Amino acid sequence: MKKSLMVALALMSILTVVYIGAVVYANTNYDGFKEIVLAAEELETQPSSWYTPEELGIISIAEKQGFPGLLSIGVPPEKDWERLQGEQPVFKYKDEFYQILPVWVDTIYIPHPVLQYKIPIGAAVGTGWILIGALIFREKRKIR
Protein backbone atom coordinates (compact mmCIF):
# COMPACT_ATOMS: atom_id res chain seq x y z
CA MET A 1 0.00 0.00 0.00
CA LYS A 2 2.84 2.41 0.78
CA LYS A 3 4.33 2.03 -2.69
CA SER A 4 1.01 2.75 -4.41
CA LEU A 5 0.50 5.75 -2.11
CA MET A 6 3.90 7.14 -3.12
CA VAL A 7 3.02 6.64 -6.80
CA ALA A 8 -0.31 8.44 -6.25
CA LEU A 9 1.46 11.32 -4.47
CA ALA A 10 3.97 11.67 -7.32
CA LEU A 11 1.21 11.53 -9.94
CA MET A 12 -0.92 14.13 -8.13
CA SER A 13 2.10 16.40 -7.75
CA ILE A 14 2.81 16.21 -11.48
CA LEU A 15 -0.86 16.79 -12.37
CA THR A 16 -1.05 19.77 -10.01
CA VAL A 17 2.06 21.40 -11.48
CA VAL A 18 0.78 20.87 -15.03
CA TYR A 19 -2.65 22.26 -14.11
CA ILE A 20 -1.25 25.35 -12.39
CA GLY A 21 1.16 25.93 -15.29
CA ALA A 22 -1.63 25.73 -17.87
CA VAL A 23 -3.88 28.13 -15.95
CA VAL A 24 -1.07 30.63 -15.36
CA TYR A 25 -0.05 30.43 -19.03
CA ALA A 26 -3.63 30.95 -20.22
CA ASN A 27 -4.13 33.93 -17.91
CA THR A 28 -0.87 35.69 -18.78
CA ASN A 29 -0.18 34.93 -22.44
CA TYR A 30 -3.58 35.36 -24.01
CA ASP A 31 -4.89 38.85 -24.53
CA GLY A 32 -8.39 37.60 -25.02
CA PHE A 33 -10.75 38.75 -27.66
CA LYS A 34 -12.51 41.97 -26.94
CA GLU A 35 -15.66 42.97 -28.68
CA ILE A 36 -17.60 46.22 -28.53
CA VAL A 37 -21.32 45.48 -28.33
CA LEU A 38 -23.67 47.91 -30.05
CA ALA A 39 -27.43 47.83 -30.52
CA ALA A 40 -29.44 47.74 -33.72
CA GLU A 41 -33.16 48.24 -34.25
CA GLU A 42 -35.34 46.70 -36.93
CA LEU A 43 -36.64 49.12 -39.56
CA GLU A 44 -40.27 49.18 -40.62
CA THR A 45 -39.50 50.26 -44.19
CA GLN A 46 -37.04 49.02 -46.78
CA PRO A 47 -34.09 51.44 -47.17
CA SER A 48 -32.71 52.57 -50.51
CA SER A 49 -29.19 51.46 -49.56
CA TRP A 50 -27.87 48.99 -47.03
CA TYR A 51 -24.77 46.97 -46.13
CA THR A 52 -24.03 43.41 -45.20
CA PRO A 53 -22.85 42.81 -41.62
CA GLU A 54 -19.42 41.82 -42.98
CA GLU A 55 -19.05 45.15 -44.82
CA LEU A 56 -19.61 46.98 -41.53
CA GLY A 57 -17.15 44.79 -39.64
CA ILE A 58 -19.82 43.10 -37.53
CA ILE A 59 -18.46 39.83 -36.15
CA SER A 60 -21.38 38.64 -34.00
CA ILE A 61 -25.12 39.17 -33.91
CA ALA A 62 -27.48 38.11 -31.12
CA GLU A 63 -31.20 38.64 -30.89
CA LYS A 64 -32.21 40.32 -27.62
CA GLN A 65 -34.45 38.02 -25.58
CA GLY A 66 -37.62 39.83 -24.55
CA PHE A 67 -36.94 42.75 -26.90
CA PRO A 68 -38.32 41.93 -30.33
CA GLY A 69 -36.79 43.95 -33.12
CA LEU A 70 -33.53 44.63 -31.24
CA LEU A 71 -30.16 43.05 -31.88
CA SER A 72 -26.85 43.11 -30.06
CA ILE A 73 -24.04 43.36 -32.57
CA GLY A 74 -20.37 42.88 -31.87
CA VAL A 75 -17.56 44.79 -33.53
CA PRO A 76 -13.83 44.54 -32.80
CA PRO A 77 -12.43 47.56 -30.91
CA GLU A 78 -10.02 48.33 -33.75
CA LYS A 79 -12.97 48.82 -36.11
CA ASP A 80 -14.22 52.40 -36.20
CA TRP A 81 -17.31 51.57 -34.13
CA GLU A 82 -17.80 55.22 -33.10
CA ARG A 83 -18.30 56.09 -36.77
CA LEU A 84 -20.91 53.34 -37.00
CA GLN A 85 -22.79 54.94 -34.12
CA GLY A 86 -22.58 58.37 -35.70
CA GLU A 87 -23.59 57.35 -39.21
CA GLN A 88 -26.11 54.71 -38.07
CA PRO A 89 -25.86 52.58 -41.22
CA VAL A 90 -28.48 50.01 -42.16
CA PHE A 91 -27.65 46.33 -42.68
CA LYS A 92 -29.60 43.25 -43.67
CA TYR A 93 -29.87 40.29 -41.29
CA LYS A 94 -32.21 37.29 -41.81
CA ASP A 95 -34.16 39.10 -44.54
CA GLU A 96 -34.86 42.09 -42.26
CA PHE A 97 -33.23 45.52 -42.19
CA TYR A 98 -31.65 46.90 -39.03
CA GLN A 99 -30.18 50.29 -38.22
CA ILE A 100 -27.30 50.67 -35.78
CA LEU A 101 -28.34 52.81 -32.82
CA PRO A 102 -26.16 55.55 -31.31
CA VAL A 103 -25.74 53.63 -28.03
CA TRP A 104 -22.77 51.69 -26.75
CA VAL A 105 -23.80 48.62 -24.79
CA ASP A 106 -20.73 46.87 -23.43
CA THR A 107 -17.30 45.38 -24.02
CA ILE A 108 -17.05 41.61 -23.84
CA TYR A 109 -13.85 39.80 -22.91
CA ILE A 110 -13.68 36.22 -24.13
CA PRO A 111 -11.07 34.29 -22.11
CA HIS A 112 -8.59 31.70 -23.36
CA PRO A 113 -10.29 28.40 -24.23
CA VAL A 114 -8.20 26.60 -21.57
CA LEU A 115 -9.80 28.72 -18.84
CA GLN A 116 -13.27 27.28 -19.43
CA TYR A 117 -11.98 23.99 -17.99
CA LYS A 118 -10.26 25.62 -15.00
CA ILE A 119 -12.98 24.89 -12.41
CA PRO A 120 -13.81 21.26 -13.37
CA ILE A 121 -10.17 20.22 -13.64
CA GLY A 122 -9.29 22.15 -10.47
CA ALA A 123 -12.12 20.36 -8.67
CA ALA A 124 -10.81 16.99 -9.88
CA VAL A 125 -7.26 17.81 -8.74
CA GLY A 126 -8.57 19.02 -5.37
CA THR A 127 -10.65 15.86 -4.96
CA GLY A 128 -7.58 13.77 -5.75
CA TRP A 129 -5.62 15.53 -3.02
CA ILE A 130 -8.45 15.03 -0.53
CA LEU A 131 -8.59 11.30 -1.34
CA ILE A 132 -4.82 10.95 -0.95
CA GLY A 133 -5.04 12.79 2.38
CA ALA A 134 -7.74 10.37 3.51
CA LEU A 135 -5.57 7.39 2.49
CA ILE A 136 -2.58 8.77 4.38
CA PHE A 137 -4.74 9.34 7.45
CA ARG A 138 -6.08 5.77 7.17
CA GLU A 139 -2.56 4.35 6.84
CA LYS A 140 -1.39 6.25 9.91
CA ARG A 141 -4.34 4.89 11.91
CA LYS A 142 -3.41 1.33 10.85
CA ILE A 143 0.17 1.79 12.08
CA ARG A 144 -0.95 2.85 15.58
Q: What is the pTM of this model?
A: 0.52
Percent of the chain with pLDDT over 70: 87
Averaging pLDDT over each range in 18-27, 29-38, 50-59, which range is the top one? 50-59
43 and 99 fall within a common domain: yes
Same domain? For 61 and 121 the reply is no
Q: How many domains does the chain have?
A: 2
Please determine, for residue 66, whether its predicted confidence score (pLDDT) is greater than 60.
Answer: yes
Rounded CA-CA distance 4/8 in Å is 6
Q: Are residues 13 and 67 in the same domain?
A: no
Q: Are residues 48 and 73 in the same domain?
A: yes
Residues 68 and 135 in one domain: no
Same domain? For 75 and 62 the reply is yes
Strand 90-93, strand 60-63: pairing: unpaired
Q: Give me the domain span that covers residue 26.
A: 2-30+113-143
- Domain match, 88 and 21 both: no
- Asked whether the CA dihedral 135, 136, 140, 141 is positive or negative, the reply is negative
Q: Residue 69 corresponds to which amino acid?
A: G
Is the domain of 12 the same as that of 42? no
Residues 13 and 77 in one domain: no
Contact 15/127 with Cβ under 8 angstroms? Answer: no
How many residues can be counted in the chain?
Answer: 144
Is residue 80 over pLDDT 80? no
pLDDT-based confidence at residue 125 (cuts at 50, 70, 90): very high
Tell me the C-alpha to C-alpha distance, in Å, between residue 106 and each of 15, 89, 103, 133, 144: 38, 19, 10, 46, 62
